[in-house]
Structure 1
Amino acid sequence: MAMMDISTEGEHIVHPIDSRYKVEEMNRIWEEENQLQKMLDVEAALSLAISEMKPELVSPDDARVIKENATITKVKLSRTKQIESEIHHDVMAVVKALAEQSGEAGGKIHLGATSADITETAKAMLVNESIDLILEDSKKLLEALVKRTEETKDWVCIDRTHGQHAVPTTYGFKIAGYLDQVGVIIERLEGDKKYAVGKIAGAVGTANSYTELGLDAIVLEREVLKSLGVQANAHSRQLPPRDNFLFIMSDLTIYANILDKIAGDLWNLCRTEIGEVTEATSSKQVGSSTMPHKKNPFRLERVMGMSAILRGDLVTEFELNFSHARDLKQSAPYRYRYPEFFITLDYMIRMMTNLITFMKIDKQKAYDNVFFTKGSVMAERVMTELAESGMDRQAAHERVKQLAWKAMSENKMLVDFLLNDAEIAKYLSEDKLRELMNPETYLGIASLKTQMIIDKYKR
């Protein structure tokens, strides 16, 4: 797997998801031609279902002709746009363009339907395709995280709370946490496709037009949506409730937030004075136009920045309740936000997969950093052992704290202060104190928990 390059294809590009942050497969899903194809698929499925339920309305031959012509090789995007420029209605432009290609059968297209029957169902199909691609790419990220977790399972390092050194842990344990976060959100997304709902229920959801035609509207909706791989909501008006897509978008944003967390942690570990992690670099890479020495973690920063875009997009989605059965407040934001959501997140997932795969973790530097505070990170262990040996726990806490702060202040090893403290000597021998200062034997259940996470996700 090579490091990701910036796309140089295309001219007159405006939005960066069409060039710099382009994901070929996801972009294809949201291209206008594929969106048109999905609308044509719904129109064809509706005609076919009606022909099977009541052939006197739409004959099997008419349904066949409609299906044969319901393809972007026959119904050109340019033609639908030309018609729309004249009538100012996108769905009727599709209906008219399809009818032009279908001869007499064209008079049977869109029978009983309202625009939202077509657009909402097509949207659900696009979302399902997008979730499938997100899940496919997520499995590659999961595999990369499993591999790095296994590799670093027993690499001793320091963990940090409030940005300060805390107690020893392992790199494997830290990465296992990221692995589990990604695994959990994948499980949620696998269940989210049930929220990508379509509808075939007419102008306000009561299917008046379909029942007037003598059709069993419940069966019609079920059969059309089943043929397209889409579920129906229990209740829809002209539009299904926005809640369904908010569930999906919320989980996508949570996913982006997880990637932001991982990137933020790794970015911090790339800092010069920490130096435990380095982004993979090429020999031609430039970090600064004026500082030749720079190796900036720009990919991690890109992931962090893109996560903020999706959090902002989610806020917009929460502002889009429609009035009564529907209005068009959500239409323009949908056209902006849905491609942006899925393309941006998929780019982030692929970028993070590359980062995890190729990043360099300096095992020795990570171990050396454990001793940066002169052994003070073992203070908890000493305090606990003192309490177990009979010293008042609060007194032990205060005494060890004072000695640890003194060790860091004077840039001397904590063990030397411990060995020269008369009160501590009453409870712990020199051999015991030296034994307690070994970080490799103070890792708790890090190895056990790490292996449990590996076993959970390793394929």
Structure 2
Amino acid sequence: MSKYDKYSTPLSERYASDEMSKIFSLRNRFSTWRKLWLNLAIAEKELGLDIITDEAIEQMRAHVEISDDEIEDAKIEEAIVRHDVMAHVHTFGKTCPAAAGIIHLGATSCFVTDNADLIFLRDAYDVIIPKLVNVINRLGKFALEYNDMPVLGWTHFQPAQLTTVGKRATLWLQELLWDLRNMERARNDLGLRGVKGTTGTQGSFLSLFHGNHDKVEELDERVVELLGFGYAYPCTGQTYSRKIDIDALAPLSSLGATAHKMCTDIRLLANLKEMEEPFEKSQIGSSAMAYKRNPMRCERVCSLSRHLGSLYQDVFQTSAVQWFERTLDDSAIRRISIPSAFLTADIVLSTLLNITSGLVVYPKVIERRIQAELPFMATENIIMAMVEKGGSRQDCHEEIRVLSHQAAAQVKEHGRDNDLIERVKNTEYFKPIWGDLDTLLDPSTFVGRAPQQTEKFVTVTVANALKPFAEYLNEDSFQLSV
């Protein structure tokens, strides 16, 4: 059967990076199992198990990377024994005959499956955290570039007070910073299951070391050390607690919410023609409507972010229904949901890197929309200016109210431009402030502290958050405020 006759997931075939796909590949999974068996044997030998020879260790070390032929041999073996781990124990033993009798000594299947999964969780975070760091850095540069460009704000997707293009970007940035915090915490909290035996009691290892509790503890600590982790979970059943999977996937699900909100905003702004994602020179927006510039990157992010959010329910439900020391109904779903979550997060972040590298802003469209709405927003300024000239606040309020409704009718009923200011200029009552109207209508006076907020947030808050990740940045990072 051709590979084109079988379903393959778009997550790995179409979207995800090779780096992330490799982490959850069969070769990496089985090679990691071999690495675990090797390090278990090394630690057991160091602690006095003489039945493990130097030759056994060397043969195992020489064949840690599993070959294509061995993967195929293990498939055949699994069809016979109906047990994936034992199939690989037998296959590894054929390749390393000196070690055949001591591979997996004292261990249960979860020694390799669970410890490997924890290694994959850590390594997967090491792929996506640098991408998130660079998304934040790029978006921060964008926010600084446009920190003082006035833009119409939207509440309920109705025109609201002005903000700035840069300030709007800080709303996205702040949530991405929270995602970074959550991911880093989840990554650094990861431990190993360690060497715990069949039900977590370490009974088999206590037998191996003839009742020596200290050596069993040393074995657990040594294996963890050899594998590059800081600690092992002190209490496990046969598996590590599936609550760890909740902790690991929750930040990814949360990222999905952030990315969906950000890209929805950009999609709406694209419709308003104020901002859009990068559009390649030869890119086709529609097979029928040649003029279209569809926001396909943001649409992809929204689509996959919904999937990312849903995967959290898999690990939540799996953790909730585990019985006592373990059941096996966690196995099949974890093979799907955990790789899918990291592959999806990887795709979302790779796409966000592309989007934030070339966001396009259209100042003239933004300015025109401001001018269409600003007269209504300036009514309070006009009232205050008239009062300063000696007018009555209540009289002015009534005059501007009448003119505002007349102007609104021109816009809504006749599709004409907002002519409120022209009506003010043609109304004798407002003559005292005619000369002040240009100043009263300056958009920069309507954005409050948005420019100052944006600059401080990016140069202090964002810069401080990125400082520990300087090695990941592929562009110049921000200068800290002094």
TM-score using structure 2 length: 0.84
Residues 1:437 and 1:93: Cα distance change in structure 2 (over 3 Å): same
Work out the percentage of aligned pairs sharing the same amino acid: 24
1:257 counterpart letter in structure 2: A
Deviation of the 1:166 alpha carbon: 0.9
The 1-side partners of 2:98 and 2:169 are apart by 63
| Aligned partner of residue 328 in structure 2, secondary structure | coil
The 2-side partners of 1:393 and 1:320 are apart by 65
Q: Does structure 1 conserve the Cα–Cα contact (< 8 Å) formed by 2:59 and 2:96?
A: yes
The 1-side partners of 2:202 and 2:392 are apart by 76
2:203 counterpart letter in structure 1: N
Q: How many residues align?
A: 447
- The residue number in structure 1 matching 2:47 is 53
The question of 1:454 aligning with 2:449 is answered no
The question of 1:310 aligning with 2:314 is answered no
Q: Does structure 2 conserve the Cα–Cα contact (< 8 Å) formed by 1:80 and 1:97?
A: yes
- The residue number in structure 2 matching 1:5 is none
Residues 1:420 and 1:344: Cα distance change in structure 2 (over 3 Å): same
Deviation of the 1:194 alpha carbon: 3.4
- The residue number in structure 1 matching 2:21 is 27
- The residue number in structure 2 matching 1:281 is 279
Residues 1:74 and 1:287: Cα distance change in structure 2 (over 3 Å): closer
1:421-436 maps to which residues of 2 (within 5 A)? 429-430=433-434, 435-436=439-440
Residues 1:248 and 1:373: Cα distance change in structure 2 (over 3 Å): same
Deviation of the 1:250 alpha carbon: 0.8
- The residue number in structure 2 matching 1:154 is 148
1:452 counterpart letter in structure 2: K
Deviation of the 1:175 alpha carbon: 1.4
The 1-side partners of 2:186 and 2:385 are apart by 49
Deviation track 1:153-174 (CA, whole Å, cap 9, x = no partner) reads: 2221111110011111111111
Residues 1:378 and 1:241: Cα distance change in structure 2 (over 3 Å): farther
Q: Does structure 2 conserve the Cα–Cα contact (< 8 Å) formed by 1:66 and 1:106?
A: no
- The residue number in structure 2 matching 1:375 is 375
- The residue number in structure 2 matching 1:135 is 129
- The residue number in structure 1 matching 2:472 is none
- The residue number in structure 1 matching 2:223 is 224
Residues 1:95 and 1:415: Cα distance change in structure 2 (over 3 Å): same
Residues 1:95 and 1:388: Cα distance change in structure 2 (over 3 Å): farther
Picking from 112, 116, 132, the partner of 1:122 is 116
Deviation track 1:260-295 (CA, whole Å, cap 9, x = no partner) reads: 111000000011xx1112333234322222222222
Between stretches 358-367 and 387-396, larger displacement belongs to 387-396
The question of 1:101 aligning with 2:99 is answered no
Q: Does structure 2 conserve the Cα–Cα contact (< 8 Å) formed by 1:188 and 1:251?
A: yes
- The residue number in structure 1 matching 2:208 is 213
The 2-side partners of 1:217 and 1:436 are apart by 79
Residues 1:276 and 1:48: Cα distance change in structure 2 (over 3 Å): same
1:223 counterpart letter in structure 2: R
- The residue number in structure 2 matching 1:324 is 324
Q: Does structure 2 conserve the Cα–Cα contact (< 8 Å) formed by 1:195 and 1:245?
A: no
5+ unaligned residues in a row in structure 2: which ranges?
412-417, 464-476
The 2-side partners of 1:145 and 1:46 are apart by 45
1:358 counterpart letter in structure 2: G
Deviation of the 1:420 alpha carbon: 8.1
The 1-side partners of 2:150 and 2:96 are apart by 70
Deviation track 1:106-149 (CA, whole Å, cap 9, x = no partner) reads: 21111111111111110111111110010122222123212212
- The residue number in structure 1 matching 2:448 is 444
1:228-247 maps to which residues of 2 (within 5 A)? 228-230=227-229, 231-247=231-247
The question of 1:361 aligning with 2:356 is answered no
The 2-side partners of 1:264 and 1:132 are apart by 27
- The residue number in structure 2 matching 1:300 is 298
Residues 1:110 and 1:153: Cα distance change in structure 2 (over 3 Å): same
Between stretches 80-89 and 58-67, larger displacement belongs to 58-67
Deviation track 1:326-381 (CA, whole Å, cap 9, x = no partner) reads: 11111111111122111111111111111121231112211221122252234565
Picking from 50, 70, 75, the partner of 1:76 is 70
Q: Does structure 2 conserve the Cα–Cα contact (< 8 Å) formed by 1:75 and 1:98?
A: no
| Aligned partner of residue 301 in structure 1, secondary structure | helix
Deviation of the 1:299 alpha carbon: 1.3
The 2-side partners of 1:142 and 1:294 are apart by 29
- The residue number in structure 2 matching 1:165 is 159
1:205 counterpart letter in structure 2: G
1:257-268 maps to which residues of 2 (within 5 A)? 257-268=257-268
Q: Does structure 1 conserve the Cα–Cα contact (< 8 Å) formed by 2:385 and 2:433?
A: no
Deviation of the 1:414 alpha carbon: 3.9
Deviation track 1:79-103 (CA, whole Å, cap 9, x = no partner) reads: 2212111111111111111111221
Q: Does structure 2 conserve the Cα–Cα contact (< 8 Å) formed by 1:195 and 1:247?
A: no
Q: Does structure 1 conserve the Cα–Cα contact (< 8 Å) formed by 2:383 and 2:397?
A: yes
Picking from 182, 187, 190, the partner of 1:188 is 182
Deviation track 1:24-68 (CA, whole Å, cap 9, x = no partner) reads: 111111111011111111111111111111232534443333333
Residues 1:284 and 1:105: Cα distance change in structure 2 (over 3 Å): same
More helix by proportion, 1 or 2? 2
Residues 1:443 and 1:102: Cα distance change in structure 2 (over 3 Å): same
The 1-side partners of 2:442 and 2:362 are apart by 20
1:444 counterpart letter in structure 2: G
The 2-side partners of 1:296 and 1:40 are apart by 48
Q: Does structure 2 conserve the Cα–Cα contact (< 8 Å) formed by 1:10 and 1:19?
A: no
The 1-side partners of 2:439 and 2:225 are apart by 67
Q: Does structure 1 conserve the Cα–Cα contact (< 8 Å) formed by 2:297 and 2:351?
A: yes
- The residue number in structure 2 matching 1:256 is 256
Residues 1:372 and 1:105: Cα distance change in structure 2 (over 3 Å): same
Between stretches 73-82 and 306-315, larger displacement belongs to 73-82
CA RMSD, Structure 1 to Structure 2 (Å): 3.1
- The residue number in structure 2 matching 1:4 is none
Deviation of the 1:402 alpha carbon: 6.9
Deviation of the 1:255 alpha carbon: 0.9
2:99 counterpart letter in structure 1: A
TM-score using structure 1 length: 0.88
Q: Does structure 2 conserve the Cα–Cα contact (< 8 Å) formed by 1:47 and 1:66?
A: no
Between stretches 434-443 and 169-178, larger displacement belongs to 434-443
2:252 counterpart letter in structure 1: L
